[in-house]
Amino acid sequence: MSFVWKFMCGLGAGINSTSSIAIVTSHYRLERERAIGLIEASAGIGLLLGPFLGALLYELGGYVLPFAAVAGFYFLLYPLIAYSLATIKLAE
């Protein structure tokens, strides 16, 4: 079951990164390289700081706090994400 789960997570991550880069490059045609660079830099910073912040939250609040913090962060950012996606006009 673990193998199947990791396979599904890898497939989802591949689909997510491919579609995200496609959407951003179609929206920022003149600054395509800069946009991709910002996406990759953001992913790198997240991979660098994520384990540290997760361990810190675990030490402060136990097993549940890292998950609750990420869920709360997503709920706070959801209106901004929804607004941003609604304003994007893709090439037709």
For 6-59, the pLDDT digits (tens) are 999 999 999 999 998 998 888 888 999 999 999 999 999 999 999 999 999 999
Q: How far apart are alpha carbons 59 and 69 in whole angstroms?
A: 13
pLDDT of residue 91: 54
User: What's the whole-number mean pLDDT along residues 68-80?
Assistant: 94
pLDDT of residue 92: 52
- Residue 62's pLDDT band, with cuts at 50, 70 and 90, is very high
Phi-psi label, residue 62: left if phi above 0, alpha if psi -120 to 50, beta otherwise: left
Cβ proximity of 65 and 53 under 8 Å: no
User: What's the whole-number mean pLDDT along residues 54-66?
Assistant: 96
